[in-house]
Amino acid sequence: MKGTAMLKLSARNQFPGTITGIRQGVTTTHVTIEVAPGVVVTAAITNESAEELGLAVGGEAVAVIKASDVMVGTKG
């Protein structure tokens, strides 16, 4: 979020960006956030949460990633 402080959360992996897509399903909404040029994070959230957050394409959002493990893979 340009010029805005990050959220106060225990999760340290916070990536501010711009919402580039919102696709609502029956129960889940998929939100895409461009966090750097050409770098997109997709989150699956409840439809209720998407509505409460007032999400809109072009709006600012923060992708917050909280995971106990990060996996790394290669082709070779």
Whether 28 and 50 have beta carbons less than 8 Å apart is answered as no
CATH annotation of 13-65: 2.40.50.100
Q: Which residue has better confidence, 50 or 10?
A: 50
Q: What is the dihedral of CA 6, 68, 27, 14, to 10 degrees?
A: 10
- What pLDDT, in 10s, does the model give residues 29-56? 999 999 999 999 999 999 999 999 999 9
User: What pTM does this model have?
Assistant: 0.79
Q: For the chain, which residues make up each domain, given as ranges?
A: 13-65
Q: CA nearest 44: which of 36, 52, 33, 34?
A: 33
